[in-house]
Homo-oligomer: A and B are copies of this chain.
């Protein structure tokens, strides 16, 4: 699979994909004779993994560390598990914050809708910030 195809599949730019490889977010990708990247199934799994983790705010630095441990072999199983647990904590924390903000936004929007429907601004200065 060419770099372009992988980009289309995951909605990335070639520059991003090359950047991920260069800094070690994914391991080195298989090449054609001519030196062009030719992603095999395993390469694509790594890309998919990176995209998923990045989309949830797991830092690039953490992914680099994971790949590094992975390449060091079976002796790093425990370390890898711990790193994943750390990533999970990051994601969970964000998840909680995001949920709290959703609640607040829903509340605020419903109050605006009420005001728009009735034509009455039933709250004072800055009141829309509350709750």
Interface residues of A (CB under 8 A from B): 42, 45-46, 48-49, 52-53, 55-58, 74, 77-78, 80-81, 84-85, 87-88, 91-92, 94-95, 97-102, 104-106, 108-109, 112-113, 115-116, 121, 125-126, 128-130
Contacts and interface: CB of A to CB of B under 8 A. Distances in A.
Nearest to A101: B56
B102 A91 contact: yes
Nearest to A88: B105
A97 B95 CA distance: 10
B109 A55 contact: no
A51 to B, nearest CB: 10
B101 A84 contact: no
B99 A84 contact: no
A116 B74 CA distance: 11
Contacts of A52: 100-101, 104
A78 B4 CA distance: 42
A91 B98 contact: yes
Contacts of A46: 126, 129
Contact of A84 (B58, B100, B109): B109
